[in-house]
Chain A
Amino acid sequence: MIFQAPILALLLISALAALVSLWSAGFGVQVLRRWDVASGARTQLRLERATELVSTLFGFVMLAEIAALLLFVYNADRMAELFVGAMCAVGTLNVNPWGFPALYLKIAVFFSAALWLILDRADRLGRDYPLAKVKYAALLPIAGLLLAAGGVEIAYFLGLETDVITSCCSKLFTPVNEGLASEMTGLAPGRALWMLAGTGATVAVTGGLSLATGKGQGWFALAGGVMFAVSLAAIVSVISLYVYDHPNHHCPFCLLQPEHGYYGYVLYLPLFAGTAFALGAGVTRLFHGVGSLSDTLPAMTRRLVVSGMVAFGLFGIAVVWAIAASQLILFG
């Protein structure tokens, strides 16, 4: 089944990412061992020169991986019609045991890519490569993650057999099963909404405080991370019901389909972006004291906090709109 245009594009990106990350990791090891900005030695000059290429190339691959997550999900949804029993992306991902791990790894790659890009950007604010070692230390595990994600993705695509009968989302997202999906489904709608509102308020308060005082971005990042988890649970437990106008359909993937106006993208894009910005603010906060960054980095952290709050705000508007525009009455 790998002779499908989107699959070929995804494999191309993964192959490129694997190649670049291996090479960058090799370079990263050299940086970690020999980097010394004070030295004028030949090796140091060579490293400084090459780091421009490596970080540009790796940053470019990270951007491509972010696009690949979107394409992966979109493609999984689109291919559902090829499999017996599949009605949305869940069925496609369930065709073999590699499907969901591939998705989770892709999501992990997305967040680490976003954080690395933010780190890279922070590093470029200072003229003396202030974060070079941090950046390359972070690159090593990301390279491993990229390789793992690429391997699992290939295993998944090679194992796509159309004569396998897969299961539909209504089977996975029911409260009677065991596992995380059904825990999320079984969460009472009222409780899920209260939790969502509570974490949303916490995000707003911590964000506002960090903007006012210039401190506490770590709390904002933490609140953003919790917000991500709670939002996913709330989408499965209650928001999807409002989008489908149906009291029992909980699938978070059918939201991506044209029948529901691609509403899933309206929900997920700001949610993922907001989480990435919030976590990024938490990361850049750690380096406010670094010499050449002490003037410029706080402004960037501030921008990240604002972007995160705007993205979460958009997500909140999307949630409220889904509930307000729905014909479904769950309470009262």
Chain B
Amino acid sequence: MVLAEAPELTVQHLRMGRHEMTDGAQIAGIAAIRGVTAVEGRLWGYFYDAASGANYTFQVPDDPALLPGPGEVLVGEGVQRARGATWEGAPLFLSRYTGDMVKFEVVRTFSSDSALVSSDLVLLNEADFRAFFKLPEGVWTDLAVSIRNPLEIPTIMEKASKLMPDARFITRDEIGRTYQKLFSWREGLMIALAAAAVLAFTIFAAEKASGLSAEEAREIGVLKAIGWDTRDVISMKLWEGALISLGAFLIGTLAAYLHVFAFGAGLFAPILKGWSVIYPDFPLAPVIDGMQLSTLFLLTVVPYTAATLVPIWRAASADPDQVMR
């Protein structure tokens, strides 16, 4: 996934519980720990662009192929979208305070294929970054530590924390887990919200099933009169209900599939993905998950069946002359 390229370990300096710039002098110390293949200082930060009302992520790329020349930037497609840039390569004007204006040439705009990570990105070289944010030499936002053997991460973390006792260490696994938890939590929250709808639907189904139409009552009456037993009527009605709920489930699943994968989940995407002024536009890859389907099936069909059972029984157990009358 996106995180596969992330460093095994990220080191951030903390002061008063807040993130602080890391002193470059620490790099050599951590690099000397056995098992560490490389330590790199990274420069990144956020910038609020008052003109477009959006937050950009500024970063100095570690990939030399992406490193722009002096006065040049590479931007994500969201940045151009937010600024309303009408033509390819329109220069990027940024104002840090009233009366200030910095101009960058846009040499490349990232396509929306990588929008989930690059949408609000502005890449620039180190000198420009330090000049733009007025950063002194030799300090870094955080340190990216590459470790060859993932089993050694805890030990290396322990050693490094002796060198930098006031630092925070974040492993790649932790980042992945946090995202996973966040997304499933949002999903569960949506379902909890939908619970009200399910409840309403259940009441509606029970109401509907208990108010038998005259024709249905007649049908049950005739069936009982020709010798059907209460349990025969119940099982017939249950099969009927199963057919209806299965059909509805299939139609609903199909509609949901189209909604998500053909129309980009316009209704729920903001809640599940997060939101901001320049949130990325990206297509979702079609995936069908057996567990999700069975969960949804249980969440919808079980309450429906439970709600309709009592009314069905009431109709089925009544005497034929009573229902027909």
Interface residues of A (CB under 8 A from B): 2-9, 12-13, 16, 20, 49, 52-53, 56-57, 60, 64, 67-68, 70-71, 74-75, 78, 81-82, 84, 124, 127, 162
Contacts and interface: CB of A to CB of B under 8 A. Distances in A.
Nearest to B299: A9
Given A8-B299, A71-B291, 13 more contacts: A3-B187, A4-B188, A7-B188, A8-B188, A13-B302, A52-B317, A53-B313, A56-B234, A57-B310, A60-B306, A81-B177, A82-B181, A124-B231
B177 A57 contact: no
A84 B230 CA distance: 55
A268 B191 CA distance: 31
Nearest to A77: B291
Contact of B185 (A4, A9, A53): A4
B191 A8 contact: yes
A56 B310 CA distance: 10
17 contacts: A5-B187, A5-B296, A8-B192, A8-B299, A52-B231, A53-B310, A53-B313, A56-B313, A57-B309, A57-B310, A71-B294, A71-B298, A75-B291, A81-B180, A82-B177, A84-B173, A127-B229
B303 A5 contact: no
B188 A12 contact: no
A159 B231 CA distance: 43
A68 B299 CA distance: 11
Contact of A6 (B181, B189, B291, B302): B291
A71 B230 contact: no
Contacts of B37: none
Given A52-B313, A52-B317, A64 B302 contact: yes
B26 interface: no
Interface of B is mostly: helix
A261 to B, nearest CB: 14
A127 B231 CA distance: 11
B184 interface: yes
Given A60-B305, A82-B177, A82-B181, A74 B291 contact: yes
B295 interface: yes
B229 to A, nearest CB: 8
Interface-central residue, A4, A16, A124, A127, by most chain B CB under 10 Å: A4
Given A6-B291, A9-B298, A64-B302, A56 B180 contact: no
Nearest to B187: A5
Contact of B309 (A8, A60, A67, A74): A60
B234 A52 contact: yes
Contacts of B299: 5, 8-9, 12
A6 B191 CA distance: 10
Contacts of B187: 3-5
B86 interface: no
Contacts of B294: 67, 70-71, 74
B192 A16 contact: no
Interface-central residue, A5, A52, A68, A82, by most chain B CB under 10 Å: A5
Interface residues of B, number: 33
B63 to A, nearest CB: 29
A4 B189 CA distance: 8
Nearest to B188: A3
Interface in B119-149: none
A99 to B, nearest CB: 18
B272 to A, nearest CB: 12
Nearest to A57: B309
A53 B312 CA distance: 9
A3 B176 CA distance: 18
B317 A5 contact: no
Interface in B292-325: 292, 294-296, 298-299, 302-303, 305-306, 309-310, 313, 316-317
Nearest to A127: B229
A12 B302 contact: yes
A20 B302 CA distance: 13
A4 B192 CA distance: 9
A4 B188 CA distance: 4
Nearest to B316: A52
A74 B295 CA distance: 11
Given A3-B192, A9-B295, A52 B302 contact: no
B177 A12 contact: no
Contacts of B188: 2-5, 7-8
Interface-central residue, B189, B195, B234, B306, by most chain A CB under 10 Å: B306
Contact of A71 (B185, B191, B295): B295
Nearest to A52: B230
Given A60-B306, A71-B298, A49 B230 contact: yes
A74 B177 CA distance: 19
B313 A5 contact: no
Contacts of A127: 229
Contacts of B292: 5
Interface string B226-239: 00011100100010
B177 A53 contact: no
List the 4 shortest-distance A-B pairs measured between CB atoms, nearest first. A3-B188, A53-B313, A9-B298, A9-B295
Interface string B192-208: 10010000000000000
A127 B229 CA distance: 10
A12 B307 CA distance: 13
A60 B234 CA distance: 13
A28 to B, nearest CB: 17
Contacts of A8: 188, 191-192, 195, 299
Contacts of B238: 56
B180 A82 contact: yes
A329 B209 CA distance: 61
